[in-house]
Amino acid sequence: MARRQGEEESGADENASGQGRGSSRARRQPRSPRRDRSAAATRGTVGAQGKAGNLMPWLIGGLIAAVVVGLVGFPVFQEVTEEWPGITMADQGNRHLATVEEEHIPYNSSPSTSGPHLGVGLAPANIYRQQQADELQVHSLEDGHVVVQYDCGDEDCSNLVLQLMSVVQRAIGDQKRVLLAPYTPILHPETGVTHRIALTAWAKIDVFDNFDGERVTKFIDAYEGLDHHVRG
């Protein structure tokens, strides 16, 4: 009898224990969907940040490259699109002459802008009262000089000469290779019409009648200092 009672008590204890475990399982709730979504969102944010971090060096590199190309490309673009003053003449070469009297091909403009010239001696930057020989001043042009010349014919052009002198003297004061001299005749290279003022550089010429200080200065700034020697 006592043995049976013990077995019954033991069974009752096992039932109670089973009910306890069952009730613990019942109390364990499944993971909240909201918590899952939050974790997924966190992983997505971290992933996006990682991708953004990977792209950042490329973005910075691209920006730097664009700036460099802009800085390098702008002067090139400016040079291509800039309007250079004067009329471009055919280059007649750099043949050297021993003397002014030595025979050579005729120059293709008046005043001359290129072609045969003295191999020794040139007209340096200065203000001259006498016309300089073409064979002499072409050598100056080859060395990067700009020549400003005037032809007033029988007219009194002392005022024009003074105006041209002021521009040329200022340029010489700035260590620029510019010279002023009279020259006859000054002709438009295309029409043959005579003019009072001529600006020449190597293979470049501009002719007009009335003083224009800005026009003269622009021509000087464009061509002064450009060396045109033929390199072997």
Radius of gyration of the chain (CA): 46
According to DSSP, the residues that pair with 180 across neighbouring strands are 127, 148
Residue 63 — left, alpha, or beta (φ > 0 → left; ψ -120 to 50 → alpha)? alpha
Q: Which residue in the block uniquely carries the two structure tokens 């040139």?
A: 122
Contact 122, 228 (CB under 8 A): no
For 87-223, CATH gives 3.40.30
According to DSSP, the residues that pair with 150 across neighbouring strands are 182, 197
With a cut of 60, say whether residue 79 has pLDDT above it. Answer: no
Per residue in 179-219, pLDDT (tens digit) is 999 999 999 999 999 999 999 999 999 999 999 999 999 99
pLDDT of 151 reads: 97
pLDDT of 24 reads: 44
The strand ranges marked E within 12-137 are 87-88, 96-97, 117-118
Per residue in 103-155, pLDDT (tens digit) is 999 999 999 999 999 988 888 999 999 999 999 999 999 999 999 999 998 88
Per residue in 23-75, pLDDT (tens digit) is 444 445 555 545 555 555 555 555 545 554 565 566 566 666 554 445 444 44
pLDDT of 227 reads: 86
pLDDT bucket at 15, cuts 50 / 70 / 90: very low
pLDDT of 221 reads: 97
Residue 89 is given by DSSP the state P
pLDDT of 161 reads: 97
pLDDT bucket at 19, cuts 50 / 70 / 90: very low
Task: Compute the half-sphere exposure of residue 140: CA atoms within 13 Å on the CB side of its CA.
Answer: 26
pTM score, whole prediction: 0.66
